[in-house]
Every structure is written in structure tokens, then in C-alpha cells.
């Protein structure tokens, strides 16, 4: 039995490619309408020990960590649990945007606190695309700025009164991003180095419109874990 961790596009693509092979697709349970295929479980495992127990109880023979590039805690737990349970582990991680043609001109930062400071300095209107959980982290620094916060689902906390909330889920098109940038006069984009093609259009439009880009670097992942960057390589690893 194979355990796929994560509701990313790569995780869904892998689940589809596995077809009739035995697998469980595990999701964090943070969205109300997750997209997944096959046998699905939702919610956490209860830390490393809980995941170890799950692996043993369900006779998991291989784990594919297809979580979001910024889900560092889950990746650490997966590495520790698989080592303890002696289960094979591979990290399926889409390439980041560091190699993007415009990457050298972006404002690279280490985390959300630094990104908020940079956005406040560069000025708005600011387009935030950092996810529901971290959007409130910018409220203090950008309370007096024009902000458009795009999220798949609304945050559970109240945002500054002057902010505009846009609920949308990718993939996003270049034409759609142009309408968003032009409709709100976006001058600064804040985003994470998520990589992939589903949300890259905003970077193309930012370059077209001469907008600043504040890019949050990916957190480090556990050392020593085999990593592949596409589903074909992951299938080959699974054998």
C-alpha cells in the first residue's frame, strides 16, 4: 500500500497515474472542497508517533511526500516517521521559480514577516497570494495600505477594513491575471516560491506591468530524502 501525502496538483496527478494500484491519498483537511482521487483520508496523524502507528497498522510500504513546498513540518514528520517505521520515502516536489527569467529582479525574503516589511516599503496596491493561513500575518504592516488578498477560502480572522478579499483557486490564466492587476492597479505582488505552472501567470503579468515582486524563499526540507520533480520519476521510483 502506498501513502500519498498532500493535495497538490502533483499528488493528484500521481494518484490518477497509479490507477488500480493500492494507495491512500492523505489531505490536511484545510479546505472544504479538496480535489483528490481514489481512497482519501483527511486530517492530521497526530505527529510523528501517530504517523508511525498509521504506517504500521495499514501496512504502508512506500510514502510519497507530495505536500506543498512550504509544508515543512509535515515533511519533517514524514521523514522521521518513515525512518522509524522503516518505510521507503520519496519527496515529489515541483521545481521552484529561482530559475525564472525575472527571478534576479525580485525581492527575495526569508519569511512572511520580512515579506510584509518589504511590501510596506515598496508600496501598494499590494496583491497578496500567500494563502489563507498566512494572509492575516500582513495585517499589522499593511493595515493602512491598499491590499488585494487572493485566497481559496476566506481567513477565519477579520482583515483590515480597507482590504479587498478575492476568493479564487488556480490554475490562473495570463488574461485573468491581467484583469486582476489592472482592475486593482497592483504595484507590488507578494507570493511564495511555490513553483509549477498553475500560478506562474501572475509573475508574467507582474513583469508586463512593471510591478514589484516580493518572493518568499522555500523552507529547507529534511536532508537525506530522495527527491524527484515529476510524476514519471516518482512512478519509476515506486517500481
pLDDT in tens, 130-188: 999 999 999 999 999 999 999 998 988 999 998 999 999 888 999 999 999 999 999 99
Which pLDDT band holds residue 22 (cuts at 50, 70, 90)? confident
pTM of the shown model: 0.85
* Structural domains for the chain: 2-95+220-238 (3.40.50.720), 103-216 (3.40.50.720)
Mean pLDDT of 103-128: 97
DSSP secondary structure, the chain, as one string: -EEEE--SHHHHHHHHHHTTS-EEEEE---SSS----SEEEES--SHHHHHHHHHHHTT--EEEE---TT-HHHHHHHHHHHHHHT-EEEEE----STTSTTGGGSEEESSHHHHHHHHHHH-SSEEEES-TTTGGGGTTTTTTS-EEEEESS--SSPPPTT-EEEE--S---HHHHHHHHHHHT--EEEEE---SSTTTHHHHHHHHHT-EEEEEPPPP--TT-EEESSHHHHHHHH-
Amino acid at each position: 500500500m502506498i501513502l500519498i501525502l498532500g493535495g497538490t496538483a502533483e499528488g493528484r496527478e500521481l494518484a490518477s497515474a497509479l490507477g488500480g494500484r493500492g494507495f491512500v491519498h492523505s489531505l490536511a483537511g484545510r479546505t472544504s472542497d479538496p480535489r483528490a482521487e481514489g481512497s482519501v483520508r483527511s486530517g492530521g496523524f497526530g505527529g510523528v508517533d501517530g504517523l508511525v502507528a498509521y504506517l504500521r497498522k495499514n501496512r504502508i510500504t512506500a510514502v510519497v511526500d507530495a505536500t506543498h513546498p512550504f509544508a515543512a513540518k509535515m515533511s519533517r514528520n514524514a521523514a522521521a516517521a518513515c525512518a522509524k517505521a522503516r518505510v521507503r520515502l520519496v519527496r515529489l516536489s515541483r521545481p521552484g521559480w529561482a530559475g525564472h527569467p525575472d527571478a534576479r529582479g525580485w525581492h527575495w525574503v526569508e519569511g512572511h514577516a520580512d515579506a510584509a516589511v518589504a511590501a510596506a516599503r515598496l508600496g501598494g496596491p499590494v496583491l497578496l497570494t500567500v494563502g489563507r493561513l498566512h494572509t492575516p500575518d500582513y495585517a499589522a504592516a499593511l493595515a493602512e495600505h491598499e491590499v488585494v488578498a487572493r485566497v481559496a477560502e476566506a481567513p477565519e480572522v477579520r482583515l483590515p477594513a480597507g482590504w479587498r478579499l478575492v476568493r479564487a483557486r488556480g490554475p490562473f490564466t495570463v488574461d485573468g491575471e491581467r484583469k486582476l492587476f489592472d482592475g486593482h492597479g497592483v504595484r507590488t505582488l507578494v507570493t511564495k516560491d511555490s513553483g509549477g505552472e498553475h500560478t506562474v501567470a501572475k509573475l508574467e503579468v507582474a513583469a508586463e506591468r512593471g510591478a514589484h515582486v516580493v518572493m518568499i524563499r522555500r523552507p529547507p526540507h529534511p536532508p537525506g530524502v530522495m527527491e524527484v520533480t515529476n510524476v514519471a520519476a516518482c512512478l519509476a521510483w515506486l517500481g
